[in-house]
Amino acid sequence: MAQKTYAGIAVDVNDEGYLTNAGSWTNEIAVAIAQEEDIVLTEKHFAVLYFIRQKTSAGEALSLRSIGKSGIVDAKQFYELFPGAPLKKASRIAGIPKPSSCV
């Protein structure tokens, strides 16, 4: 575990850069983390981030499928917003733990 400073605020992160405490997240922190991924956040990005945070706090598992069927974006748009590995990137920017692609 380590500490990183985003938008002037020190937060705890794990060894992969994910926030260990989802409650410490703010919009400004999201923008700062997104910058590390060369992403400039728009309203659409934030709509997805809020969706992800809401699902996670409700204890629901995230998947490309559930985000693609969220009504906010489809899978292709999700990839355009967070290129490469969208689920991992969006989760980190949203300040939630890494998605457990467990089984």
Partner 1 sequence: MHIFAKRFTAVSIKSVIQIPNRLKMNKLVILGAGTGGTLMANKLRKKLSRSEWEITIVDKEPEHYYQPGFLFIPFGIYQSRQVVKPKRRFLPKGVSYIEAAIEKVMPESNEVFLADGTNLNYDYLIIATGTDIVPSETPGLDGNQWHKSIFDFYTIKGAESLSRAIDGFNGGNFVVSLVELPFKCPVAPLEFAFLADSYFKKKGIRDKVNISYVTPLSGAFTKPKATRMLGDLMKQKNITLIPDFNIEQVDNDSKKLVSYDGREVPFDLLTVVPVNMGAEYVGRSGMGDDLNFVPTNKHTLQSEKWDNVFVLGDAANIPTSKAGSVVHFAAEILYENFLLAIKGKPLLAKFDGHANCFIITGIGEGTLIDFNYDVEPLPGTFPLPVIGPMKLLKVNRLNYWGKMAFKWAYWNLLIKGRHMPISTHMSMAGKKAG
Question: CB of 16: closest distance to partner 1 in angstroms?
Answer: 11
Residue 20 or 26: which CB sits closer to partner 1?
Answer: 20
Our answer to whether residue 102 is catalytic in this structure is yes
Long-range CB contacts for residues 12-15, cutoff 8 Å, separation at least 24? 14/98
The residue from 1, 40, 58, 102 that is catalytic is 102
Instruction: Return the closest-CA partner of residue 80 out of 56, 45, 29.
Output: 45
Closest distance to partner 1 from the beta carbon of 17 (Å): 14
Q: What angle do CA 17, 18, 19 make, to 5 degrees?
A: 120
Residue closer to partner 1 (CB basis): 23 or 76:
76
